[in-house]
Structure 1
Amino acid sequence: MRAIRVASAALLGACALALATPAAYASSESRGFRVSVLPETVAPGGQVTLHATGCDKDVFVSSSVFDDVTIRQGRSRAVAHVDWDARPGRLYEVTFRCGTFWQTAGLTIAGGRPVDPTPVPVQPSGGAHAGAGGSLAGFDLKEIVLGAALVAGSVGTAYRFSRRRTDEESG
């Protein structure tokens, strides 16, 4: 009989832990974050349009060939002006950051002879984004406190029920 109560308490604790998972993992930013640079080839001093979809935050875009750009939340694109001193034939990496997730795209500067004729894959990049990697980045303080309160409450309740039943049986 005691084994059933202990198993019930353990199941209650496991359910509370599962429900305490922050909503950040379920957000759309980790799934479907897509980026592109159009056109993919541009002359020095030219203009490119930076596209990012699937992020519910501001997207920060950086590259060594133009100034940093922010695609504001609710928008999917922004414009960047390529530096006049960009080297023709060179492939530059453009990095898009959405919270703790990032993607890269390539931008080739027109003219001149290609520096490296070998095609460089630009998708996928950075490997699988399987989570925050143990960091607290992207988690709201309210979510952390709420999760900790749920876990503490469920563990405390399970302990109380298991102790109360033991006290009733022994008395």
Structure 2
Amino acid sequence: MYANLKRPPRSVVEWLADVVRAVAIVVVIVSLFTLPFTDFAVLSMSLPAVMLSRMIGLRSGLDLVTCVTVFVAAGSNVIDLYRAWTGWDLIVHAVCTGVLAAVALVLLDDACVIEPTGRRRTPIVVATMAGLALSAVWEMIEWFGYRFITDAIFVTYDDTIGDMIAGGAGALLLGIVASRFRLTRADRAAL
């Protein structure tokens, strides 16, 4: 993982992904001093994902999409886009869960739990299961935040189920892509 992290970017897309990572880090640091703590916490939850996508050696386009998606998902919460734009919540849940399912597939591949992605059907099932599990965990975090931190978090039964369906659908689509294409760079270093 460290070898992938310290590897210099070699393409425009890899540079863009690293720029998004750097912006995310700066925004999180600035938010610590300028935003309410709950907003800082939401933004800071995006940092592990934007760093992990580089560390596991995702293909450059998928790395960029992961960084942008995760940071947009966190930022949308902070600037209240989920309430302002009808349907935005479902779109973000689908795309974000899909890219996080990609990260899960690569981690499971590196741990020799599943076969490598590309030309196999296993990723369809595993990505969907990972996406549904990630969706469930996220919804539990939302509920916990609503119950114990602030009632400003929007939590209803319909919203929870809709978010999980969208997340599962995004992960399923990613699984279909991963069954046909490798998700990692050819020159990446495994765990």
TM-score bin (small chain): under 0.3
Q: TM-score, normalised by structure 2?
A: 0.20
Q: Which has the higher contact order (CA 8 A, sep 6+)?
A: 2
Q: TM-score, normalised by structure 1?
A: 0.22
- The structure whose Rg is larger is 1
Q: Hey, which of these two has a bigger chunk of strand by percent?
A: 1
Q: Hey, which of these two has a bigger chunk of helix by percent?
A: 2
